[in-house]
Structure 1
Amino acid sequence: MSLKLKSGFTFDYDNLFGEGKVTKADIEAFSDKLKEAHKAMNVMRETGYIKGHLSKDGQPEKVWFSQCPYIQEGTLNSPESMKRLQELRESVRNRIDVVVSLGIGGSYLGNKVLFDVQCGEFWNSKSVEERDGYPKFYFSGNNIDPRRTKDLIDNINSSAAITKSHYKRTYKVMLIVISKSGGTLDTMSNFMVIYDALKKNPDIEVEIVAVTDPNTEKPTLLKQMAMDHNWPQFSVPDGVGGRFTVFTDVGLSTAACIGFDIDEFLHGARDMDEACKNENVWENPAMLNAALKYIASEKYGRNIEVMMPYGDYYESLSMWYIQLLAESLGKQFNKEGKEVCYGRTPVVALGTRDMHSQTQQHQEGRLDKVVQFIRIENWDNDLVIPNVFPEAKKLADISGVTMGDALEVARQSNADALASNKRFNALFSLPKMNAYYLGQLLYMLAMSVAYEGEFADVDAFDQPGVEAYKRIMGPKLQELKASKQAK
């Protein structure tokens, strides 16, 4: 059983629905909740209002992520904002040698998905011509790691020395700093260390782009710095939590710097949003996905979701989803203030790699998981496994098929084995991986957690648990600084 959109995007839920799984009767008994949740999504689209949602400051706050796919005046992604992203694209191409994107959480994870899909692992080893004029691209600011930060600085300094020696010019570096407030410890500590080190190198020119809160009346720290230093600016918009910002300037600034097709990405999200406006659960991918997994969790105890894409460059997609699910649905209290401690635990996995590690637990461990597969039906430049050792029968037996076909046989075998032992699993199938289908997939997952927040009566758009450690960490850092100054 599956739901297939006109685009070819498919949600196959055969191993999640039916006898011994989530049943039709379960869905029918859930009909009132489905109607209420769907109505809430329509209200959110039209007004930004979500019942019970407050900002981290405890003030009413609109939710605007569902606006992001639409490029029009008065919305977050306006024709003017698209023009500015195009100007950024033209500015870096054939001019900037390397871009370093500094961000954490939603300011990193979605960007890394876009990079992996567009560029792959060996982007920075390619020539400028092979990169079509786009710069090398690195990430930082997603951890406070002194070794990696120094390695990045050393790498850039080394490239600058080569450029000076071979081409007799300075090396041009752009630092894109992504923080709504400018006070994000992980991001800003890396930024200051990297900026200071590179500015001391006479062979390097450093430019800074700030992606931050656009409010000019009460500017945040990074906003004020950007205004004081005349840095180009892009927006971390109000009403779009970090885990949803891949569809805003936060993610699209990375897209602009690597040649990723922004228009097609938003087109895919837009088409998915249209599909998710369908009030029929069997024709609405996000509502059906959320309902099946909510019921699987609450009625059948399957409260762990293993996100398992098949393909090396899609592990970052799974990591992005981890934040989306964990921050959106892992809540101690419901909207009425009752303690519920709700949430499905997300787990990163990768096929086929983790068939040789986690699958033993998936197959025979506790009956508490749904394994969610992602497959790509048609691979660009698929490779045939050659019969180079015909005398080795076991190797000869796997020759003559493409690597993509072999990957799908492995995934299907995993799914069949799990299903044979009462292990819930499902599949998102993309005709191919490109900007359009990635937009469809990410948007569907984002809308799914919005639906599930309504089912569970929790606020899917706040993150109070994240604020708890921040309140503790600030004073601890002050104490540490004071103790070092006293020595």
Structure 2
Amino acid sequence: MSYIKLDYNYTMSEFLENGLTDEELEESKDAAKKGLSDFITLSEESEVGFSHLPEFDLSQIKETVKASKGQYNDLIIVGIGGSSLGVEAVTNALLPHGYNALSFGERGCLPRVWFADNVDSHKLYWILKKCEAEDTLVCVITKSGSTVETISNFSIIYKWLNENLKNPFSHIYVITDPEKGPLREFAEMHNIKTFSIPSNVGGRFSVLSPVGIVPSAILGLDVDRMMEGAEEIVKSEKEKILHLSAIYLSFIKRGLNINVMMPYTSRLKSFCEWFSQLWSESLGKRYTKDGSEIHAGTTPVGAVGANDQHSQLQLYKEGPSDKLITFLELGSHDFDAEIQAGFHPEFSYLTGHSLGQLMNYELHATELSLRKAGKPSLKLVMDGVDECSVGKLFMLMQYVVAVTGLSMDINPFDQPGVEEGKHFAYGMLGREGFEGKKKEFDDQYIKSDEYFL
């Protein structure tokens, strides 16, 4: 079984000037214990469901995928935010680099994968340009069934399917709410294959639901192993969850308002984007649960080692002391290659080392450099990147963010701050019921030519 270890040495005063004291960490851990207790209550009462996802019966998904294997050259995933970021993080971590450039045979008769997430006409044009409708499966993901970006992209893809196929509906999977929503109505009307997102699982917590599991299975990933890893976190890692939540809480209390996630592997770059949504939407809240104004939240930043040693590290070391950095280290790197630098004597010191060793040496060097500058960092160490470890990583961070939010007396499961912008957009689009927002926008979206150059 794979592992994830927490190394928080360089957050503590024993090793770091002005680091956390044992008493400070224990105080935050007490708060985290209350947050975890609140979470367990919400979970037991089925108010929040992501921790129950490892119990999900995958047989229907696996049977559907098995029946369709070899039929499709391309998979287009249509979704945005929580309906896209997690799936993309999984595929970028677990599929070969440059996967779409492999031949059908090299891919094991599995489809290429494309993400129609943003409403970017250039991107969507070239996705469809590269695909043939008869060889394409479209997976539409939206919990509400009405996400404007997803429905807009799907409308164009559906038109493309309809123009090229006698039965476009057999080339569509829908992943949405189990009971309601216009997309479910459309799917049931046309006998389209559907998978349900549990009603108590929010979008940013849904990567281990059919949102992430269906596309992962289509692409040949071992979803059972992914769920096994997630389940181990649920059953056996409460102490790790408490410690990591307590560390984050401690530095939030200290006013460090930037939270950097920095894996030392390119395979987890998209994980940083997923984590940014999870952290931002869950913890960025104006009000506590009792209505007190708090303006909680810190800003997540994604970085990748060793690349961003050459771009962001200068700021992290010598800039403001407003950041906590979470490194991700791999115990082993797939296809690790020995460096052969005998072509010039200047580089002979590299010979005999491997790329994986170099990556980890650079991480350790960065840790020490930041420690000497009094800048705190912690580290999650994974034995490698596979389905089990990825399942663990997703579940661990979902737990930690949920517990951190509940410990701060905020609701980490809603996102009221994004609603008004949606409503203004609906008004501009002429959606029924949003005429007032259209008028409000027209009255208040005012700018002066004085401030244009």
Correspondence 1:286 to 2:247: no
Contact kept in structure 2, 1:17 and 1:292, CA below 8 Å: no
Flag the 1:174–1:436 CA change in 2: closer, same or farther, 3 A: same
Contact kept in structure 2, 1:153 and 1:198, CA below 8 Å: no
Correspondence 1:8 to 2:3: yes
Distance in 1, matches of 2:308 and 2:184, equals 43
Distance in 2, matches of 1:202 and 1:64, equals 38
Flag the 1:154–1:13 CA change in 2: closer, same or farther, 3 A: same
Correspondence 1:414 to 2:366: yes
Gap runs ≥5 in structure 2? 439-453
Match among 350, 364, 369 for residue 304 of structure 2 = 350
Correspondence 1:458 to 2:407: no
Give the structure 1 partner of residue 187 of structure 2: 226
Question: CA offsets, 1:297-325, max 9 Å, x none?
Answer: 212x2221110111112100111100110
Distance in 2, matches of 1:310 and 1:32, equals 32
Give the C-alpha shift of residue 150 in structure 1.
Answer: 0.8
How many correspondences in the alignment?
429
Give the structure 2 partner of residue 196 of structure 1: 159
Distance in 2, matches of 1:444 and 1:123, equals 27
Matched residue SS, 2:131? helix
Distance in 1, matches of 2:166 and 2:370, equals 57
Give the structure 2 partner of residue 241 of structure 1: 202
Distance in 2, matches of 1:41 and 1:189, equals 36
Distance in 2, matches of 1:138 and 1:370, equals 34
Match among 396, 402, 409 for residue 348 of structure 2 = 396
Distance in 2, matches of 1:271 and 1:32, equals 23
Map 1:367-378 to 2 at 5 A: 367-378=321-332
Matched residue SS, 2:135? strand
Distance in 1, matches of 2:194 and 2:50, equals 20
Correspondence 1:179 to 2:142: yes
Give the structure 2 partner of residue 53 of structure 1: none
Q: TM-score, normalised by structure 2?
A: 0.91
Give the structure 2 partner of residue 144 of structure 1: 119
Give the C-alpha shift of residue 28 in structure 1.
Answer: 3.0
Question: CA offsets, 1:6-29, max 9 Å, x none?
Answer: 853211001112342111010233
**Segments of 4+ in structure 1 off by > 4 A?**
202-206
Gap runs ≥5 in structure 1? 1-5, 49-61, 71-76, 161-170, 278-283
Give the structure 2 partner of residue 67 of structure 1: 52
Map 1:3-82 to 2 at 5 A: 7-19=2-14, 20-30=18-28, 32-48=30-46, 62-70=47-55, 77-78=56-57, 82=58
Letter of the aligned partner of 2:244 in structure 1?
N
Contact kept in structure 2, 1:88 and 1:256, CA below 8 Å: no
Give the C-alpha shift of residue 92 in structure 1.
Answer: 3.0
Contact kept in structure 2, 1:120 and 1:313, CA below 8 Å: no
Distance in 2, matches of 1:153 and 1:188, equals 16
Give the structure 2 partner of residue 212 of structure 1: 176
Distance in 2, matches of 1:31 and 1:105, equals 31
Percent same amino acid among aligned pairs?
Answer: 30
Identify which range, 333-342 or 19-28, moves more after superposition. 19-28
Distance in 2, matches of 1:314 and 1:29, equals 32
Give the structure 1 partner of residue 267 of structure 2: 313
Give the C-alpha shift of residue 372 in structure 1.
Answer: 0.7
Q: TM-score, normalised by structure 1?
A: 0.84
Correspondence 1:100 to 2:76: yes
Contact kept in structure 1, 2:339 and 2:351, CA below 8 Å: yes
Contact kept in structure 2, 1:181 and 1:213, CA below 8 Å: yes
RMSD (Å), alpha carbons: 2.0
Identify which range, 360-369 or 17-26, moves more after superposition. 17-26
Distance in 2, matches of 1:67 and 1:23, equals 35
Identify which range, 99-108 or 131-140, moves more after superposition. 131-140
Matched residue SS, 2:295? strand
Match among 225, 229, 236 for residue 275 of structure 1 = 236
Give the C-alpha shift of residue 347 in structure 1.
Answer: 0.4
